[in-house]
């Protein structure tokens, strides 16, 4: 079955450490997204990519970085510059045939500070 796989499910970060969250999709979607979810705040867009080798900052990109070297993969790095990284991170993808396409989500990575 096609879908989005996020790993790991749980991740712990030490002070000053960078960590990378994995997101892989086999839906053949061009567009991929990273969201951060905090309690009571809904989803906030970190980065998105419309096509391979291209990505744009979302609303809360500071302290995060991404790459899009392959269509299937869109990893997110949470850098030490992100001072409050504890959150639930969701990766999503969608077809780019138009704005009527829903997004497909992975099951998230929960990041905590040690």
Q: Which residues bind another protein (CB under 8 A)?
A: 4, 6, 31, 33, 40-43, 45, 48, 50, 58, 90, 92, 96, 98-100, 102-108, 110
Nearer residue to another protein within complex by CB, 16 or 42: 42
Nearer residue to another protein within complex by CB, 33 or 74: 33
The minimum distance between CB 15 and another protein, in angstroms, equals: 26
Please report, for residues 28, 34, 43, 51, 68, the alpha-carbon distance to residue 23 in angstroms, rounded to integers and kept in the order given. 13, 9, 17, 15, 11
Q: How many CB atoms lie within 10 A of CB 75?
A: 17
């Amino acid at each position: 079955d096609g879908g989005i796989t996020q790993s790991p499910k749980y991740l712990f970060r030490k002070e000053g450490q960078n960590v990378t969250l994995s997101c892989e999709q086999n839906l053949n979607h061009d567009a991929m997204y990273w969201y951060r979810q905090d309690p009571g705040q809904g989803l906030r867009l970190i980065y998105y990519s419309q096509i391979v080798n291209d990505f744009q900052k979302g609303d809360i990109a500071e302290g995060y970085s991404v790459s899009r070297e392959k269509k299937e993969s869109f990893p997110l790095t949470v850098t030490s510059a992100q001072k409050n990284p504890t959150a639930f991170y969701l990766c999503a993808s969608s077809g780019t045939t138009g704005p009527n396409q829903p997004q497909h989500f992975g099951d998230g990575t929960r990041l905590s500070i040690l």
